[in-house]
A and B are shown apart, each in its own frame.
Chain A
Amino acid sequence: MLNVSGKVEKGRRTEAVENAAAQERQLVRRAQAGDVPAYEALLAKHQQRVFSVVGGILRRREDVEDVAQQVFVKAYFSLKRFDLRSAFSTWLYKIAVNECWDYLRKKKVRKLVYEADMSDEQNRQVLSINEQPFGALRSPEDAARRVEQQQLVERLLSELDEEDAAMLVMKEVEGFSVEEIGESLGINVNTVKVRLFRARGKLVEVYRRRMKGSTAAKAKKADGNP
């Protein structure tokens, strides 16, 4: 009985998804014919997700809105070339991803390589990460600390491949599924899983190396100045 109701529920969900997809295709066709309100509807529907994709790759709040705006402008003027073979969202996210890489190239954001190990204070901050509930920092001091923490994690991520770092942030921060990441970046789902797995390992390895370096420096300092 439960099994039957489960199947019915699944069937309803599939039907709803198909209806939504058909409605979206209809909106896309109207927008392609020059119907501006139809494009506005598509924009309203996808803006949050585009923000997440862009935010996951750029990781700079101040750049996200400008790039997301550029994505929607570009999509509007390329819409007639969209052949509806894939979902509109897939096509749109690909534009977003390409726009992000272009933006990073133009800005010539160099990969930050930090030779020095983290300071004791930085270590303390990173170590305290696990003790703080997510989103609990709200006072000005906490906000400043949050910025510092972001910079520290950004340093760790800067040692990863750019695409791997983007995948990790999209997965863990923005809440994308591996399928969505694969769709956005044009990568096979299993490849996404393997790359995520290895990126996590590398991130933790960099983190531990820095911790170790910092602890060793601290011990050396203690030995030199008894």
Chain B
Amino acid sequence: MTKHNENSCENYELQLEDAAELSAERGEQIALSADLSQHVSNCAHCSEALEAISLSRSLLHAGFEPTSAPSPFFAKRVMAVIRAEEQRQASRGSIFWNPLEHLAARLAMAAGVVVMALTVYAYASSVSSSAVDSSSINAAAYELVPHQQLDPQPQSKDEVLMSLVERSNVERTNAR
């Protein structure tokens, strides 16, 4: 047996792994090429490695079976989970937007009420301002009348008595 040479053995390690792969594919014993076979028979390290391939394979086959096929309901279960998740996401979206929608509706209502109130206020204020305008016009007209055209204020009691007498005379004449 030759000594283990890391550099040359590294190359043979890959060849051994390839041989193991090929044998697994074909379900046969590991078959080595002439070159590899010669190296393995002369190299203790690679000879042990070849043994390790067989033993590890036996151990693993004894320990585990290939994973069994999925049940016929697996796909249906997956699709049911997907649908449920989609619904959950959709409802999560509406849970997020619902409060905002409520808030927006309330804001719109409040804005409507404010607009109505402003309209009423504006109408009322325009009506009252027109009333004020007419009274101010009257006042202006009143102010335009000269003081002397209006009834003069009595200066004394005699004038009051005289005016009463005059008024009764006028009424008597009118009655006739």
Contacts and interface: CB of A to CB of B under 8 A. Distances in A.
Contact of B67 (A36, A61, A126): A61
Contacts of A72: 78, 82
Contacts of A199: 56
A193 B24 CA distance: 14
B66 A52 contact: yes
B82 A174 contact: no
Main secondary structure of the interface of B (DSSP, over half): helix
B64 A52 contact: no
A18 to B, nearest CB: 23
Interface in A52-85: 52, 54-56, 59, 61, 64-65, 68-69, 72-73, 76-77
Contacts, number: 126
A149 interface: yes
Interface string A169-202: 1011111011000000000001001101101110
Interface of A: 36, 40, 43-44, 47-48, 51-52, 54-56, 59, 61, 64-65, 68-69, 72-73, 76-77, 126, 129-130, 132, 134-135, 149-150, 152-154, 156-157, 168-169, 171-175, 177-178, 190, 193-194, 196-197, 199-201, 203-204, 207
Given A134-B61, A174-B67, A194-B17, 14 more contacts: A47-B75, A51-B68, A69-B78, A69-B81, A129-B62, A130-B58, A134-B62, A149-B63, A150-B63, A172-B57, A173-B65, A174-B66, A193-B17, A200-B49
